[in-house]
Amino acid sequence: MKDFEGSTVSIFTVNPKMITTHELYGVLDPDSRDWTDGLLSKIFKDINQDLLPGKKENRWILYDGDVDAVWVENMNSVMDDNKILTLANGDRILLLKHCAMLFEVFDLQYASPATISRCGMVFVDTKNLGYAPYYERWVGQKKAKYGEIIAESLKDLYQKYVFQCIERIYEGNDGSEELLPPLQMITPRTNLNCVVQLCTLIDSMLPDEEPPQEFDELEFFYIFCLIWSLGGSLVEEDREKFSEFLRNTSQLILPSSSLYDNFFDMSKTPGKFMRWEEKVEAFEMPSDRKFGSILVPTVDTVRYAWLLNQIMSLRKPALFCGDSGTAKTVTVQSNFKQMDQDRNMFLNINFSSRTTSFDFQAIIEENIDKRTFKTYGPKASGKKMVVFIDDLNMPNIDIYGTQQPNALLHFLMGKQ
């Protein structure tokens, strides 16, 4: 990338919470006195080399992760005010003028005054940027693919629904004078994340050729996508409230039952709502399966498997949340079995309270091969590997509220 002066900028991203302190800074063996470089010490040595004559380049180390009183205080200890990194083996590396360290964090709850005094602070409020720029950029891509009519319709539908729905979910504002309680989600989500999921679901459903041109049909389709993006993670008690809010906002003739119980069929001309129950196939008892692997299709399993397929079709990550015993694992694994085995391979990973980031990394590395310098892929050539992580919430939580394997997972997903 380029900075505002036109110079090339190389960014080396590190999540300090995804590995141990020794893996971050390096470790000196007390017996043999052998030194093993850590991730940060290796990057720090590589970037703090003199530039070639006439070359203009900036090199940044970006710490994209939580700040806690362990690794950041170690940073204060090994790097002094003279910007010299001193390692346990005696190496002293100067932070050169073309290099810089940036910290991208949610808060500084566990940072000490020494840490704060050495950093220039820039606070970015979510209200300053919001989700509108993302949506506008996405609509621009749809305009290039589908034309002016579809793009303008998507803009009009955004103005009619998205802001009002987010206000209802997060602020309890339904447009009336009475302020209602905000709607509850099973897991916290930002408004930007909701809009990203809306765009993803629309992308997965819009056909490549001849999308619906009629505004009314496109509006029904848009309402269905709103239900399973902005309202997809609402708790059961608040889903009907959101369904009624959408019904009142649209002023359209919608199905009399909850919008969560209806599916918008794009294969019909024109598209129309149908009950999810109509997509449930009759159950036939297999003769060669174990009892524990039998899945009786229900409305819930059918619609969640459909949503999983839609998200996976765009190679996007999906997260299934729910109480224990709600058939999350069985639904996901059953859906995998129905996929093309010649084009896909599956890796099932179970997290536990003893799982570390090293364990997670080792499992991933055992199932992939190096293709080129920075490209890795499944051992079976020509296949895509789908990774299913069960019990994502199980790894041990440290005293600063971070789960180390999940920090590594977050880092990997961010590098896609």
For residue range 137-166, list pLDDT tens digits in order.
999 999 998 889 899 999 999 999 999 999
pLDDT at 43: 93
- What tokens were used for 240? 């009907």
Report the length, in residues, of the chain. Answer: 416
Separation in Å, CA 352 to CA 62, 98, 411: 30, 43, 20
> Residue for token digits 């300090």?
16
Range of the domain at 397: 339-416
Asked, for residue 34, whether it belongs to a domain, the answer is: yes
Q: Where residue 3 falls among pLDDT bands split at 50, 70, 90?
A: low
**98 and 182: one domain?**
no
pLDDT at 292: 64
State the burial class of residue 34 (Cβ atoms within 10 Å of its Cβ: 0-12, 13-18, 19+).
exposed
Torsion of CA 77, 79, 84, 87, to 10 degrees: 60
Q: What is the pLDDT of residues 158-200, one digit of tens each?
A: 999 999 999 999 998 887 778 889 999 998 899 999 999 999 9
CB atoms within 10 A of CB 380: 14
**107 and 167: one domain?**
no
Among 123, 154, 189, give the residue marking a domain's end.
Answer: 123
Whole-number Å distance between alpha carbons of 3 and 11: 11
Among 240, 256, 279, give the residue marking a domain's end.
Answer: 279
Percent of the chain with pLDDT over 70: 96
Q: What is the pLDDT of residues 248-269, one digit of tens each?
A: 999 888 998 999 999 998 877 7
**137 and 102: one domain?**
no
Maximum average pLDDT range among 270-284, 348-362, 376-390: 348-362
**184 and 261: one domain?**
yes
70: CATH: 3.40.50.300
The structural domain count of the chain equals 3
Among 93, 123, 153, give the residue marking a domain's end.
Answer: 123
Cis status, amide bond into 317, omega within 30 of 0: no
Q: What is the pLDDT of residues 13-38, one digit of tens each?
A: 999 999 988 899 889 888 888 889 99
> Residue for token digits 């209602």?
180
**117 and 92: one domain?**
yes
Return the H-helix or E-strand segment holding 30.
none
Whole-number Å distance between alpha carbons of 79 and 115: 11
**103 and 162: one domain?**
no
Asked, for residue 308, whether it belongs to a domain, the answer is: no
pTM for this structure?
A: 0.87
Asked, for residue 368, whether it belongs to a domain, the answer is: yes
* Helix, strand, or coil (residue 124): coil
Separation in Å, CA 88 to CA 27, 31, 37: 7, 14, 10
Q: Which of 156, 176, 174 is nearest to 164 (CA)?
A: 174
Cα–Cα–Cα angle for 276, 197, 337, rounded to 5 degrees: 55
Residue type, 136: E
Asked, for residue 332, whether it belongs to a domain, the answer is: no
**158 and 257: one domain?**
yes
Separation in Å, CA 147 to CA 144, 153, 209, 214: 6, 11, 11, 14
State the burial class of residue 13 (Cβ atoms within 10 Å of its Cβ: 0-12, 13-18, 19+).
middle
DSSP 8-state symbol, 295: -
Asked, for residue 25, whether it belongs to a domain, the answer is: yes
- What tokens were used for 163? 């802001």
Helix, strand, coil % over all residues of the chain, rounded to 5: 40, 15, 40
Q: Parallel, antiparallel, or unpaired: how do β-strands 26-28 and 84-86 relate?
A: unpaired
> Residue for token digits 């589908």?
146
**138 and 275: one domain?**
yes
Asked, for residue 229, whether it belongs to a domain, the answer is: yes
Estimate the crossing angle of helix 132-146 against helix 148-157, to 10 degrees. 150
DSSP secondary structure, 52-119, as one string: PTT--EEEEEEEES---TTHHHHHHHHB-TT-EEE-TTS-EEE--TTEEEEEE-S--TT--HHHHHTS
CB atoms within 10 A of CB 164: 16
Residue type, 116: I
**66 and 179: one domain?**
no
Q: What are phi and psi of 177, to 5 degrees?
A: -75, -20
Question: Using DSSP, how many helices (H) and how many strands (E) does the chain show?
Answer: 15, 13
**109 and 231: one domain?**
no
**114 and 161: one domain?**
no
For residue 174, what are the contacts with CB-CB under 8 A and spacing of at least 6?
Answer: 167, 168, 180, 245
Asked, for residue 290, whether it belongs to a domain, the answer is: no
Least confident of 1-10, 29-38, 144-153, 322-331: 1-10
272: CATH: 1.10.472
Residue type, 104: E
Question: What's the mean per-residue pLDDT of the chain?
Answer: 87
- pLDDT tops 90 at residue 110: no
Asked, for residue 207, whether it belongs to a domain, the answer is: yes
**135 and 169: one domain?**
yes
Q: What is the pLDDT of residues 339-348, one digit of tens each?
A: 888 888 899 9
